[in-house]
Chains A and B, each alone.
Chain A
Amino acid sequence: MTKLSLVLILILSQSSFAQNLLPDLPMPPEETEEAPATPTTEPENAEKKIENQIKVNKNQLIKEFYIHFKKAEYIASLDSLKQLEKSSTDEAFSIYWQGIVNNKLERYKDSIEAFKKADKMKVNYKDMYYEYAQALYAADLLKPSRKAFGKSIVNKHKVPTSLYYMGFISQTLEDYKSATNYYKKINSLEDSQEKKDVNQAARMQLAEIYVIQAVKSKDPRKQIKKYAIPEFEYAYGLDVNSSLAPEIKKRILDLQDKYDLVLLKMANGRPTTIPRLYLKLSQEFRYDTNVVLEANQVQSPAQDKGAPISKTEVLSRYAFYPSRRISLIPEFRGNYTKHIDSDTPSIYQNDNYSLTPALRSSYEYTIGQKMSSTLLDFDYNYSARDVYQRKELNYNGRTLTYMLGEKLNFLSLGETTVRYRLKDFSSYNETYDSKTNSFSFEQMLILPKGHVMFIVGSYDMTKVKNESLNTDSYLLRLDYITPRIKDWVTPTLSFTTLFNDPYNQKVTRGLEKMYNPGVKLTRGFGHWRGNLKYDYTRNISKDKTAYDYTKHVYGFELEYLF
């Protein structure tokens, strides 16, 4: 640099940008030190002073830029950079950062110019091509952008994301072969958080390419089933909890529906069960202040003894849809109940387990354009209990239940179901064998603001081999579900009232009445669900010693749904 140009720069620096310098900024010690006192001639001294002055000004401008940039004062930081560009012998810093700042300001044309210049100057900051490529992409210069992302990969900067961009650009340019290669390359990279963040989207895009190719083929349905759906499922499986996962799942359902790969709705519009398999495990701990017979027993004298109880249950079912009108749902329920107090025979006699396979079916149709279903269920129940109070579980009884029902939609507020049920119970003690005919009515009421009410009414006639135990019963149950409180817990209130007529013992027992209010608080945590429960039961009977009782049940139940 000539002396004249140095002097000119000095004059410029002092007149224009020096006014904008921050006077109170601390100067780094090495910059404020005076030049070493070596014997030089006068013109040489002047030149060194000028050079030092330029260096000081350059550093102050860098500081100024830095402070503005850190405060996100991008317009001001750009001014500092432009002054720096004019004054500095090292333009690379200024040009590169002008590109970056213009990207932040979304002035992509300016940033492209800056990066182009930096590229010509062979500036090669690690992330420059990534930023350059983004600016080119924003300006719709897709092929140059793809090339720049390629250079970013050479610089080993944001490799998975750059590959994704290259894939996406190729996909946009309908260069599916290249797009497929770029997307697939991401999977072969070393594991990193960035790869994890990008790979799922890449595999989803890959699946989308398969869809495009399948649509062009002779048999789109087959191609989508064979290639696209498995790829979507692979993408989904990479991270089922990601924010993209629901979108992928939605896409799978959409394609399955569109290409008739899976039944999503029955002929009458009723949604099918997805996924088809339902599996639930639950563990409940409760304290019952007055344990009465819990297993399949007709006889149940009041105990007036409390005990903690553990109950473990498994419930699973799988839905089959042989046609758009018929559903077949095999189900299995098993549970085991253990009374923790093991010293009182009248309590531990209630320890039991039961196994209940069932087959539920429905026929779907419409009445007056509204969804209706005819229901036919069959249940078999086997139960074992400590019937002999010997701390061992023996055969207690088995029950066969047949149910015929009808689900209707004549009320706009919710579905109505009527059922007839026949239950045949065989006890370990045949005098307790019984048959029950039951008629029930269920009404769902969906109320405004997320409130729901469920009403069940039932009339049951039980004929026992020992006829003195015959009963007629009338039950009414209300369940009221309120919206979640502060998005945290859902309360359910219930109230059951039962009138039981042991007509062959009416003299001693009279018409028995039972009232059973309860409350349940439910909170879900992903697959987990916790229930806090309380129930109060008051049974009023003329027979004060055996059938008249009161009890409280406090419980906590933890469920896991697969």
Chain B
Amino acid sequence: MIPEERLAETVRVEGSWVVATLTRTLGSLDLAEDAVQEAAVAALRSWPLTGVPDDPRAWLAVTARRKAYDVLRREAARPGKESAASRELPGVAADPAEEVAGMAEPDSVVRDDMLRLVFTCCHPALSLEARVALALRTLARLEVPAIARAFLVPEATMAKRLVRARQKIAAARIPYRVPSDAELPERLPAVLAVVHLIATEAHAPTGGEDVARAGLEVEAVRLARLLAELMPGEPEVWSLLSLLLFTAARRPARTGDDGEPVLLADQDRSRWDQGKITEASALLAEAVRRSGGKAGPYQLQAHLSACHSTARSWADTDWDRIIGLYDLLLCLSANPAVALNRAVAVGERDGPAAMLTVLDSLPPLPRSHLWHAARADALQRLGRLEEASHELLGAVDLAPTGPERRLLARRLAGLLPPSGHGQ
């Protein structure tokens, strides 16, 4: 990492903790966000000249707090405005070191502040897309253009989404507090869904030209690590982190030398990141230990990923176990993508005719390009090439990204004999 990048990284990571604490002390996420943004700009301007301070978080906190008080004083001074700033503002010490000492909070308080920030940004009263935007902006501290690019929407749209989300937090008074133990079971899934969606967009982009988005994957893993640090007692948090790492481990093998996607069945498994697989396996074991035998949806998905990650080859995969895990997942929720993957696993265990039967029994609504591609695979293996090519044509039409379209088109070309008809 070049020094400027390392600097920006420090400002980002420390900045989120400062936002967390300032939001509590100022009583406003908006105000805290703006102040930390200004402090970050000041840090990036002065640190290259002065060097990074010993305690960069304290530096950012003091600077941000001063900026916020400036704003509140200006508001209070405006004639005819009754303002939040009319309350007593603590004095600003002449010596910043003294101020830093005065602001020092115990670790447990700082940790709770971050938990408050996490649960506020991921409150179920916000739409999932608003939660994702807030998590990437406020928790991961990505700039708006980067978030807009990640989700393939215009910058203005993403900026508006963030403004609306913050307006809702303020106007509807979404509280800034850690949910009680009793509330946690219904509040935690809303948080995990945000991180999982970011990881999914990284792993399988819903559009564009990338096979996977490494940068977004790093953010998802980082957020999952933060959650594990904040909530070490929650098994599903460990499972989610494990799942993300199993997936990340496969990324080097998912793109061929030509930049095109390589399916799991065809991947060169020696290119999988064994370090990540080892860590993911240990995390999954930890999740199992903590869950006391009650597997949540992320633990089941992590087990599935582990099953693939530890199989020597596609053919060597324990399809019985995979199908069993998919069955358990489907008991938790009827997810069409899970049902489709289960059908593919049935095809590996019981052959293409069984796979076709399962595929055709799935509800007709969510027939994605993946459903058509899976059906084409079953038909091809049954020797019904004409029907298979028909399905592949349908899949090409529905595929959301360029690389997936080209992959399917190549399969289609491979299906048709070179001399064309009459064979």
Instruction: Tell whether A pairs with B.
Output: no
Chain A positions near chain B (C-beta within 8 angstroms): none
